[in-house]
């Protein structure tokens, strides 16, 4: 079943496996993003299920024991399966968990992992030849144990189509919002992020860990510059304009973006323009030239190229999927 048809016929089923020693933070992220009802969005939301290979499962370091969740047979209904993370990545996951992951992969479910959950997916054999990431602390071990996986050790998350992996606990929020953006569009993802009081968009290619010594006199935050730019995305802004607004040289601005956001000024600006273009299309703007001008992307051809690169969809395909006429109504 495709992602789109699953929305048309029934709510998208997200199933998370809880295994011995799982970290409760990642489960909390999954529950918050996919399990809570969101009537304010005015559309059907996900159905969310926790399942486990045992009736009672101890969480990380025995903090508490979870009981009453579904058995692993719930995996067979999953449109999206979240693999369990590993408290000790060197320990092989339970065979029944690996078999459940393989079954889900075999029938085309979307596979997701947070932090060391990448080890679970790799142990199941579903990452061979695929791009993936994991927590920086375990990157060398992962590369040694799973050389067939194309590890990208220095990013927040990797979207490899039907397999998506997040680097760490906080990156689970970034990947979760990315999934919501894929399924429901930029407007809904922004609404959920506001509810969480969390940044709406951190690109998956940003660095997951930045060595940042505490300066004697800290730099001023970039927040005022970012807010200023977001009100002027329709203008032909360049990096030099951002630097002038920040009263810094382009080189200094580049350094501050790398330190604070883990990306470059141009990459951030382009991502903001694409996100704004997506919102305009979702709100019903049909003229691509108008969308390109209003988002600062200039031309319809550049709009197509940037949207395809960053969302995997052309503007017309994005409108077909997320535009007002296609948006499901709450029932």
Whether residue 131 has pLDDT greater than 50? yes
pLDDT, position 17: 94
CA 328 to chain centre: 22
* Residues pairing with 162 in the sheet: none
The structure's pTM equals 0.72
Identify the band that residue 4 occupies on the pLDDT scale cut at 50, 70 and 90: very low
Domain boundaries, the chain: 3-196, 217-331
Alpha carbons 191 and 186: distance in angstroms, whole number: 9
Would you tell me how many other CB atoms lie within 10 Å of the CB of residue 147? 10
Whether residue 74 has pLDDT greater than 90? yes
pLDDT, position 186: 85
Alpha carbons 156 and 158: distance in angstroms, whole number: 7
Mapped onto helix, strand or coil, the DSSP state of residue 177 is helix
One CATH from 3.40.50.880, 3.40.50.300, 3.40.50.11540, 3.90.1150.10 for 3-196: 3.40.50.880
List, for residues 195-222, the tens digit of each pLDDT value.
886 655 555 544 444 333 333 334 457 8
Would you tell me how many other CB atoms lie within 10 Å of the CB of residue 31? 15
CATH (residue range 217-331):
1.10.10.60
pLDDT, position 331: 31
pLDDT, position 261: 80
pLDDT, position 329: 42
* Percentage with pLDDT > 70 across the chain: 88
In Å, how far are 91, 165, 179, 313 from 173, measured between CA atoms? 26, 12, 10, 23
Instruction: Provide the sign of the torsion angle of the four alpha carbons 260, 264, 267, 272, taken in this order.
Output: positive
Indicate if 217-331 has the same CATH topology as 3-196.
no
The four Cα atoms 184, 201, 105, 51 give a dihedral, to 10 degrees, of -80
The four Cα atoms 268, 270, 276, 278 give a dihedral, to 10 degrees, of -120
């Amino acid at each position: 079943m495709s992602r789109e048809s699953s929305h048309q016929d029934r709510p998208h089923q997200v199933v998370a496996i809880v295994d011995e020693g799982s970290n409760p933070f990642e489960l909390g992220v999954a529950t918050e993003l996919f399990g809570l009802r969101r009537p304010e969005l005015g559309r059907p939301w996900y159905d969310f299920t926790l399942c486990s290979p045992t009736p009672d499962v101890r969480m990380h370091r025995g903090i508490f024991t979870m009981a009453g969740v579904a058995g692993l047979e719930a995996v067979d209904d999953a449109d999206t399966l979240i693999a369990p993370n590993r408290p000790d990545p060197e320990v092989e996951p339970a065979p029944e968990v690996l078999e459940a992951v393989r079954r889900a992969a075999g029938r085309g479910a979307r596979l997701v992992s947070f932090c060391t959950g990448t080890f679970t997916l790799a142990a199941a054999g579903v990452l061979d030849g695929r791009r993936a990431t994991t927590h920086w602390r375990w990157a060398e071990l992962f590369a040694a144990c799973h050389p067939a996986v194309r590890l990208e050790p220095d990013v927040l998350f990797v979207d490899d189509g039907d397999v998506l992996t997040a680097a760490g606990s906080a990156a689970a929020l970034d990947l979760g919002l990315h999934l919501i953006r894929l399924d429901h569009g930029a407007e809904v993802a922004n609404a959920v992020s506001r509810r969480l009081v969390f940044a709406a968009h951190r690109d998956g290619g940003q660095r997951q860990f930045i060595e940042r010594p505490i300066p004697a006199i800290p730099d001023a935050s970039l927040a005022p510059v970012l807010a200023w730019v977001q009100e002027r995305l329709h203008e032909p802004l360049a990096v030099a304009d951002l630097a002038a607004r920040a009263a810094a040289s382009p080189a200094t601005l580049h350094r501050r973006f790398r330190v604070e956001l883990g990306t470059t000024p141009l990459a951030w600006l382009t991502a903001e323009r694409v996100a704004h273009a997506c919102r305009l299309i979702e709100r019903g703007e049909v003229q691509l030239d108008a969308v390109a001008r209003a988002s600062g992307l200039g031309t319809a051809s550049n709009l197509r190229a940037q949207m395809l690169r960053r969302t995997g969809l052309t503007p017309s395909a994005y409108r077909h999927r997320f535009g007002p006429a296609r948006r499901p109504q709450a029932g």
